[in-house]
Structure 1
Amino acid sequence: MSERVGVLLLAYGTPASPHEIPAYYTHIRRGRPPTPELLAELTERYEAIGGASPLLGIARTLAERLELELGERLPGEDFQVVLGMKHATPFIEDGAAVLAAAEVERTVAIVLAPHYSRLSVEEYMERVHAAEASAELGELAFVREWHLEPGYLAMLARRVQLELEHLHSLGAGAVRVLFTAHSLPSWIVEQGDPYPEQLQETATAIAQLAGVDDWAVAWQSAGRTADPWIGPDVCEVIRDLGAGADHDAVLVCPAGFVSDHLEILYDLDIQAREVAAQAGLRFARTALPNADPEFVSVLADIVQAQLAAVAG
């Protein structure tokens, strides 16, 4: 008899339409409504990328494809892959309830972000464990980090090489590759959080696989708080790069992100691209994994390994 196995895919979340932006922003701010000025700024950013982020649709497609992939790999198991968002519907608790209703016997939870921080992945873990109080998830295993997953590194290395070839075909000479992730408050560094070190490890591994020597780590999408955030900011790095005469182009590989959303489509494709143009540099970025079959295979590898580790 097949075992019912649940996979809980965890993502940050996004408003599905413009009218959901106020509630979404309020949830991010832990129940404190944003000022009219902050709300207007965020709304304008969504308008600049077409009104809404594609993240929800991409994540749903990813869940569907991962369920099929796992079913093909392990036909003796009955998989159900569901989505749980941190700040928007379907919430993490909604996803847990779906798995509980399906009476899963085992659950693997994985955040769609490769690097661990107690301000990111740890908060997802806490929400999942809290949901267990009312949703029986069977034997629960949590993927804490996967920033050195071989398939993920190889996939991004190939995408770096592809974009470098394209830039060189356009006449660019020296190109600096910037590996980015979402910035977090810098006090986490003082507390020994592994997040910055893990991004450095990911960047080093991808650069080696891609044969890239001219690269650096940068940070993006810092929040608006009184606390300083981890830097250097990607736009500042691009400005400084343009101030010199050694580079013709910049290539951004957002290695801390797996899906197109506001931080990619606005912060990089609009904002960072504009800064590069002002600095006299060509700009390119690697394509995000999204629901690409290759990324589906990477996630299936991770889930399969987690199940094997627990069984062992």
Structure 2
Amino acid sequence: MKAVLLLSYASLQSIDDVPAFYTHLFHGKTPPPEMMMAAMSRFRSIGTADPLGSVTSRLAAALEQRLSLYLNEEVRVYQTAKHTSPFVEETTRQIVADGATRLYTFPMSPLYSRTGTAAYHLRVRKKLASLDTEIPVDEINHWHLYPAVVQALARRLRTALQWISAANRPKTTVLFTAHSQPGLPSANMEFIAAFREMAAAVAAEACWNHWRLAYRSPGSPPQKWLGPDILEAIRDIAATEGKAVVVCDLLSLIENVEAVFDCRIHSHNEASSYGLEFAATEFLNDAADYVDALVGCIAERMS
């Protein structure tokens, strides 16, 4: 039996999971009460369960069915998370107990990073070593230019651009965003290069050449983080006589609370304060074209 392990950031199942999630984010330290209250407020404000966990679960079920049919053999798809249960260690143990003969690890974010993607893979390998198993592991990385993924994103980008009024569309800037990474640019050259490659590919597929890169969700100083920040970029567009902004995130392809606030709410408020028309692309989530894209991408690596 072949196993595919989907590597995700978090999978919150209840509002009661938020305190434990933030405690894990802070390496076991309970965040200040005001920070926790703000976090609870954000999760409640979207009016639905955090989509990251539920959408990833649906994707796992769809991929398991589709990959088994595509490859004509048994494939089981598991999901694991960095900051919530099921954690990497417990899921890896379950995969071994289920009798997997080969494991494929698949990060749900297309852009490879040393603090994200690489850390996930390392935890899987460490757990397998502790279980004294020799299951072969294939890491599926660098899928940011997979054609069907680029096409799915470009389809959403064209829809968002079309939503901008005809009068403002010629002076619309597309802001491709990704979660900022810790450290100076020199320490993140691979991530930055992949981010730019993916943005260029999506823009070309959407036939739109007025775009730039920006980052969101930086951590707190004194740690250095990649920039420019998305809100700074919006202000710069307004200062250079832009008329509209379309935000397209290339790291979080599945909707989640942090990305919703960064890419929609905060960015929309900032754009509106400067008189800019605004739209954000839809997340891919578990749409049919994205499921098809992932099946093709994973099956290609498996075969």
Distance 1:32-1:173 versus aligned 2 partners, 3 A rule: same
CA distance in 2, matches of 1:160, 1:224: 31
The match for 1:96 is: 92
Query: 1:299 offset after TM fit, Å?
Result: 1.5
Task: Give the secondary structure class of the aligned counterpart of 2:50.
Answer: coil
Residue 22 of structure 1 is matched in structure 2 by: 19
**8 Å Cα contact 1:178-1:252 kept in structure 2:** yes
Shift of 1:171: 5.8
| In 2: Cα distance, 1:68 partner to 1:103 partner | 18
* Structure 2 Cα separation of the partners of residues 13 and 135 of structure 1: 27
Please list the CA deviations of residues 180-232 of structure 1 after superposition, one character each: whole Å capped at 9, or x if unmatched: 11001133x32354111110111111111211111001111112242121111
1:120 aligned partner: 116
The CA deviation string for residues 102-160 of structure 1, in whole angstroms up to 9 with x for no partner, is 20111110000011111110110111112212384722111122111111111111221
Alignment pair present for 1:73 and 2:70:
yes
2:182 maps to amino acid:
P
What is the aligned length? Answer: 302
Which of 78, 81, 104 in structure 2 is aligned with 1:82? 78
Question: Is 1:294 matched up with 2:278?
Answer: no
RMSD over equivalenced CA pairs, Å: 1.8
Alignment of 1:17-166 (within 5 A): 17-50=14-47, 52-75=49-72, 77-132=73-128, 133-134=130-131, 136=133, 138-166=135-163
Q: CA contact under 8 A between 2:112 and 2:142: conserved in structure 1?
A: yes
Farther off after superposition, 88-97 or 210-219:
88-97
Task: Give the counterpart of 1:207 among 203, 207, 220.
Answer: 203
Runs of 4 or more above 3 Å deviation? 168-173
Aligned residue among 215, 218, 234 for 2:214:
218
Q: 2:268 aligns with which of 269, 273, 285?
A: 273
* 1:242 maps to amino acid: A
TM-score using structure 1 length: 0.91
Distance across 2 between alignment mates of 1:265 and 1:21: 17
Tell me which residue corresponds to 1:197. Answer: 193
- Give the whole-Å Cα distance in 2 for the aligned partners of 1:282 and 1:28: 35
Q: What is residue 260 of structure 1 aligned with on the other side?
A: 255
Any conservation in 1 of the 2:15–2:40 contact (CA below 8 Å)? yes
Residue 73 to residue 120, structure 1, CA distance change in 2 (3 Å): same
**2: CA distance, partners of 1:135 / 1:83:** 22
Q: Bigger CA drift: 33-42 or 122-131? A: 33-42
Q: Deviations over 1:80-119 (max 9, x none)?
A: 0010111101112232233222201111100000111111
Partner residue, 2:180: 183
- The answer on whether the counterparts of 2:176 and 2:248 sit within 8 Å (CA) in structure 1 is yes
Shift of 1:43: 2.0
Counterpart code for 1:280: G
Q: Which runs of 5+ in 1 are unaligned?
A: none
Q: Is residue 104–residue 137 contact of structure 1 (8 Å, CA) maintained in 2?
A: no
Give the % identical residues: 31
Query: Which of 230, 241, 244 is 2:240 aligned to?
Result: 244
Q: For residue 306 of structure 1, what is the amino acid of its counterpart?
A: R
DSSP 3-state at the match of 1:178: strand
Q: What's the counterpart of residue 298 of structure 2?
A: 303
Q: Which moved more, 1:10-19 or 1:164-173?
A: 164-173
